[in-house]
Structure 1
Amino acid sequence: MANFSLPIQIRWADIDQNRHLRHSAYYDYGAMARMIFLSEHGITTQKLELLKIGPILFREEAVFKREITLDDKLTLDVELIKATKDFARWSLRHNFLKLDNTLAANVTVEGAWLDLEKRKLITPDEYIQSIFSEFPRAATFEWIIREEKKA
């Protein structure tokens, strides 16, 4: 699967009192890019409704490297950095890149799949697994080895 890059237009409402991008906007832009990316690759909201599942996040972390101001031109990407072999658990990273390719920030999320009726974590079906297996991977990608639960 080809790398994914989304141009971001900074909105006035996303600028804080210090005249740079407010911290919570990074998470909003990451969520937007993530859902556009999933949808463009077949994991649409309609497909998720049909499967009665949804992505759920356990952790979301932003690391800020450079200021982003209203006039900055940005692109935002998404890459798989960790996953279990069945893609039941995964970590994605979004890199906020300025026009000159300077890394301004990254947002990392750790997630899984939730059965929307049973409200329990599940292993996704082969459809979701096949799409996730083709995601762009970080150079540092690693497989997550899950420990067996003890009785």
Structure 2
Amino acid sequence: MIYKTKIKVRWSDLDANQHLANSQFLNFTSAARMEALEFCGLPLHRLYELHRGPVILEEKINYYKEVMPGRTLIIHTEIDGFSSNGVLFSFKQNIYSEEGLHHAHATLFGCWLNMQERKMAKDLPEEMLESLKKILSKNVRELNFQDIKKLNPKPQNIHLEELL
């Protein structure tokens, strides 16, 4: 199912070119994901009680058309990838104007953190698994831990003297 969120572009969302700032697209998609989780029965306070929190490993956005001030955007959010135990997930989000113009497409890959251990969760409570299925895409793909290894680029630490 696709969860739909409406967000109005405010003056504070604009950049120097007087259109929606790139960073705001990501803020809007983040807000839409949290609203979708609430719709599923997983508001922030419930996630705290379950000791689970979402971790973003990769987020990408493609921009198609600028968004002007005062416009209302409709964000479609769905989970399009899910591991068998639910620990890995990917979201697909599309941002449209009220007229149906496609302004941007965002994808996100992440996992659930066990907030007590501060590590990737080994599993999810059954309640969470069932709740998240409410916004699964019709064409959901199965994720596995090999998908994490496909993320690029890989981190590369440097020596302190190289920082300055």
Regarding TM over 0.5, the answer is: yes
The count of residues paired between Structure 1 and Structure 2 equals: 145
In 2, Cα distance between the equivalents of 1:146 and 1:133? 20
Structure (1 or 2) with the greater helix fraction: 2
Task: Give the 5 Å matches for 1:44-123.
Answer: 44-122=43-121, 123=123
2:4 maps to: 5
Corresponding residue for residue 142 of structure 1: 141
Superposed displacement of residue 45, structure 1: 1.3
Corresponding position of 1:128: 128
Q: Tell me, in whole angstroms, the C-alpha distance in 1 between the residues paired with 2:67 and 2:141.
A: 30
Cα distance in 2 for residues equivalent to 1:138 and 1:73: 27
Q: Distance in 2 between the 1:71 and 1:34 partners?
A: 22
| Runs of 4+ displaced beyond 4 Å | none
Match of 2:135, SS state, is coil
Contiguous gaps of at least 5 residues in structure 1 = none
Normalization by structure 1: what TM-score? 0.89
The TM-score normalised by the length of structure 2 is 0.82
Q: CA deviation at 1:134?
A: 2.6
Q: CA RMSD in A?
A: 1.5
| Cα distance in 1 between the residues matched to 2:44 and 2:19 | 32
Deviation of 1:38 (Å): 0.4
For structure 1, which segment, 30-39 or 2-11, has the greater mean C-alpha deviation from structure 2 after superposition?
A: 2-11
Which whole-Å deviations, capped at 9, do the CAs of 1:38-91 have from their partners, x for residues lacking one? Answer: 012111112111111111110111110111111322111101121112211010
